[in-house]
Amino acid sequence: MDCTDRPITPRLTEHARQRCAEMHVETKRVKRLLQRPTLTYSTHSDRLMATSEADPEIAVVYANSPDGTVTVITVLLRSYDEYKRPS
């Protein structure tokens, strides 16, 4: 099998691994979410956030490198409350 046919496996920062441990989220769950996100959008810090209806409890903040590497920055509990940043 040609390894170029496989999706790139995201790398997790130490912070992201710590968040997974704190939240009792397996890292493979984070990687699976990034393989099939329902919604992906840019954050205020030029990072990306992904969510999936298949796993509605978490959100993943990550960065894409020019070489195709995907790095998970952090994992969050998904919130459905509207938040307005103070001006």
Domain ranges of the chain: 3-77
Q: Where are the alpha helices (DSSP H) in 1-87?
A: 14-23, 27-35
The two three-digit tokens of residue 62, written as one number: 């990550």
Q: Which fold has domain 3-77?
A: YaeB-like fold (3.30.2310)
Q: What is the DSSP letter of 47?
A: -
- One pLDDT digit (tens) per residue for the chain, 87 residues: 444 555 678 999 999 999 999 999 999 999 999 999 999 999 888 899 999 999 999 999 999 988 889 999 999 998 777 767 777
pLDDT of 5 reads 55
The two three-digit tokens of residue 75, written as one number: 């994992």
Please name which of 16, 60, 19 lies closest in space to residue 38, comparing C-alpha atoms: 60
Rounded to two decimals, the pTM is: 0.81
Residues 6+ apart with CB under 8 A from 70: 8, 9, 10, 11, 34, 62, 63, 64
